[in-house]
Chains A and B, each alone.
Chain A
């Protein structure tokens, strides 16, 4: 870990302005991802801006009938919120499928969206990695890539985004609300929030320098059956090989997003429309442009079969 300086922000705007003014500064929320990465010198911020205690830890109803989740709401609290459990069950299920109770007590909504990949080559500073060290190459391609992405990847990077929560938010059409250093705010649809790697895998989101997440908005509830199925080698405390978040109505129509397969929660509008046709059709569309590797090609079949399981469960 490199030495760093630390301060507490006094307001959201103060935080954003300070971060913009100091290149190499980072916000710290729960610290459950950032600190681990700092210990390994994968992240080497010179300055930490603590965004705890700025009042961004509330869940409130929006005028449109949805919910606004503060950026600092802990994963545990979000999962347990009565309104979330009643109307956005997929989100609760995704959250409790992630990490452990202790971690969820610390982990925040914004931090969870911004957690970094679990690619093992990203984690080993002796290895080439375009995301960690742009231009050094990708250690995972041609190496051990069983956990990594099969779609939306590039020849520069095949990492996946590891969040469970984000997959549920994607199927719920959430939007990420931010404040820029100049105090202006904007809402970024979750579909556009995470970026595909292309030639610049180090750029992971639409956020600009200093831009702070202040909340995540969920639209009005749509009803339907909410399912989150996370498939992994052990029964708990592991990242998804494949996960499926789905909201499916009685008519068999709905929406589906996948985790564990791509650099971002993977959803294709046309695939949603194919839900009544069954898992094969949905999966064919979702993976139309897949570029699996030898180690992880199984994920495509696994995703299809998991979607089939989810559809069957929704039918009851």
Chain B
């Protein structure tokens, strides 16, 4: 199905199942431990041996020699694979660095070897017996130092300019010119990278934890230099990914190599201390924002520049993306520059670009509002735009930012907000902050297959993944709505490369794209059912387990009495996203308190109001947003991969050192969805929400801390060491 004109009325609009708060259908499996995660599959041909990955001990250099003799002789060891006996390897399209080092080492903890043994303990113990002699070379590990050598990129990452930014900024009566920094961040998902790999002759099956089945399938085949038809990738349950599992990673490659060498299935889970440096991370940024306003508060000039780094051949953190679209202003510029760094590979993490970009932009907006003497909500409302400010004849498909801000302000009690440093509660200084949330809606081609059997059971098959977001449930809701059957009559099978290729889970495109793909398949199935029933032409209504055409009716199951009916289709998106800017919006409100003695900052209350098209399952969508708000608190107040600029690695590479919020950090959270349906995005009229929830939260926290203390911090995370000396005297 091609989607190139706005959607008309369709069966989803009935919203009898879609749009209803629905507990996840895979919930019982998960809480009872019956949902197999990557490391836990038992339907593997043969008992898996255990693989343990050895990470490189240096950030950059070459391997002079590797002595694996002692490891190979160790008890229980079946195989040791290094670059010397791995066979010829290619590199996946999505990977910047190689997944197996040697002889060059490209980053710290890059995989150097996998040891396969009968038990996990034997493999781990033997891995420590491998002697690697490295010739260490100097590298670039400091973004600030590399900043001046950073280069502009082309294509979508090229600088943009509209009007006369320089002139308009220079002549603006109220100006802001500030620098902001965001640190390297780790996805820190609960389930580490994990894979079981099994070979049967030339055929390889991997049970893994991956957000994008088809990308990774292709990259695994490319890396192993084998035909893609010979690889099957299965990823039905994923314990969090946040972008860290968009790509093929070393667990899958090392398990495959280990299994080939040991002639046994092999399971590998990356040990936690390897995760930060072996896997990808969100790159740090240095950002400069310039805003020029008239005294009336209207933005005349808006400029946003960002610097980030990555390995040679890597990419930018696109932190200026939202600034192109979020606020009005006739004179604008954005620019991004990329430095070559020898730190581990940077890549997408939840809301790549927007998350760090808004962390900066939305502080800048707060600062500007203060300079203007305006309320920050009113300042944002005043500068709203209903068209793409770089291309004013291109409208937003739907844009309810103003409503999000205004409804949120009322709901949150924003009018009670006082000036900076004015509210005390015992030893706590209390403040409120706001920020806009903004994330583009992306659509990706997505396919699905649907089967109807003689019992009236509908089975959905697609390689789409559920990364903990609730995909199983919205797929079941979509099929149930389209075919008029109860939820209990739908079986959803996901995450298997033998199923039709889907959009996968990333960039908050998953929910809308994959349900739209399923919609397309269901439309075909409906046609096939009507034909099978011989009901002839006329509008078919599927409801209550029955099919009606005109005055003819039948149980849906009857159509499949003589054999299963199968339909497959995919949705392909035309150029509606060129004609209309498709985005999601929100407003975050935060109340925070800062201990006036110790400077400890703690969030007290949070509200998010989101406008993200039709909400397919409010229960799951709310979970997405509160999870994202939690992540935003982490980003604002604690998360940072600490860079050792001498050795070139992230030092705090475990969950004791890399702090994310715990329960005690997360107070009352409230989420409101504005009732929307966007006919220009898909027949589902839904958009993404999983990343929107993270966009802007960090700045709302930062602005609340500022409002509490009167002390502005522009370098994330906002830890007490950065402002203690600016809190008033206490002794």
Contact = CB atoms under 8 A, between A and B. Distances in A.
B644 interface: yes
B330 interface: no
Interface in B640-655: 642-644, 646-647, 651-654
Taking residues whose C-beta sits less than 8 angstroms from the other chain, chain A's interface range is 35 or more
Taking residues whose C-beta sits less than 8 angstroms from the other chain, chain B's interface range is 35 or more
Contacts of B296: none
Given A234-B638, A302-B599, A309-B595, A143 B665 contact: no
Nearest to A278: B731
Contacts of B657: 120, 123
B125 A2 contact: yes
Given A234-B665, A309-B427, A302 B647 contact: no
A47 interface: no
B724 A301 contact: yes
A308 interface: yes
Contacts of A236: 662-665
Contacts of A239: 656
A142 interface: yes
A238 B298 CA distance: 45
Given A3-B125, A41-B128, A304-B731, A233 B646 contact: no
* Chain B interface helix/strand/loop/mixed: loop
A220 B662 CA distance: 38
Contacts of B273: 40, 123-124
A234 B57 contact: no
Given A143-B647, A308-B730, A309-B730, A301 B662 contact: no
A1 interface: yes
A120 B598 contact: no
* Among A41, A238, A305: residue with most chain B CB under 10 A: A305
Contacts of A126: 57-58
B659 interface: yes
Nearest to A142: B646
Interface string A217-235: 0000000000001011111
Nearest to B108: A126
Nearest to A304: B731
B128 A308 contact: no
B661 interface: yes
A96 B125 CA distance: 35
Nearest to A309: B597
A231 B128 contact: no
Contacts of B721: 146, 298, 302
B725 interface: yes
Given A233-B638, A235-B664, A302-B720, A1 B121 contact: yes
A304 B427 CA distance: 16
Interface string B699-731: 000000000000000000101110011010011
Interface in B614-671: 637-638, 642-644, 646-647, 651-654, 656-657, 659, 661-665
Interface in A122-181: 123-124, 126-127, 139, 142-144, 146
B260 interface: no
Contact of B600 (A231, A298, A307): A231
Nearest to B633: A234
B124 interface: yes
B722 to A, nearest CB: 8
A19 to B, nearest CB: 23
A237 interface: yes
Contact of B719 (A233, A279, A301, A309): A233
Nearest to A143: B644
Interface string A279-310: 11001000000000000001001101111110
Contacts of B662: 234-237
Contacts of B725: 298, 301
Contact of A308 (B597, B661, B664): B597
A305 B720 CA distance: 12
B602 interface: yes
A315 B724 CA distance: 23
A121 interface: yes
Contacts of A233: 637-638, 659, 717, 719-720
A118 interface: yes
Contact of A309 (B598, B602, B644): B598
A39 interface: yes
B139 to A, nearest CB: 15
Nearest to A281: B731
B658 to A, nearest CB: 10
A229 B427 CA distance: 13
Contacts of A304: 731
Contacts of A237: 662, 664
A34 to B, nearest CB: 16
Given A39-B124, A120-B651, A124-B653, A305 B659 contact: no
B724 A298 contact: yes
* Among A126, A146, A232, A239: residue with most chain B CB under 10 A: A126
Contacts of A311: 731
B665 A308 contact: no
Nearest to A244: B598
Given A142-B646, A231-B600, A306-B598, A238 B125 contact: no
Interface in A33-56: 39-41
B56 to A, nearest CB: 9
B654 to A, nearest CB: 7
Nearest to B55: A126
Nearest to A311: B731
A144 B646 CA distance: 10
Contacts of B600: 231-232
Contact of A143 (B57, B646, B661): B646
Contact of B731 (A232, A238, A308): A308
A145 to B, nearest CB: 10
Interface in B52-73: 57-58
Nearest to A310: B597
Interface of B: 57-58, 75, 121, 124-125, 128, 273, 427, 595, 597-600, 602, 637-638, 642-644, 646-647, 651-654, 656-657, 659, 661-665, 717, 719-721, 724-725, 727, 730-731
Given A2-B128, A139-B647, A309-B595, 5 more contacts: A3-B75, A126-B58, A231-B600, A234-B665, A309-B598
11 contacts: A120-B642, A120-B652, A126-B57, A126-B58, A143-B646, A144-B643, A144-B651, A233-B720, A237-B662, A241-B720, A306-B598
What are the 3 tightest A-B residue pairs by CB atom distance, in nearest-first order? A309-B597, A279-B731, A235-B664
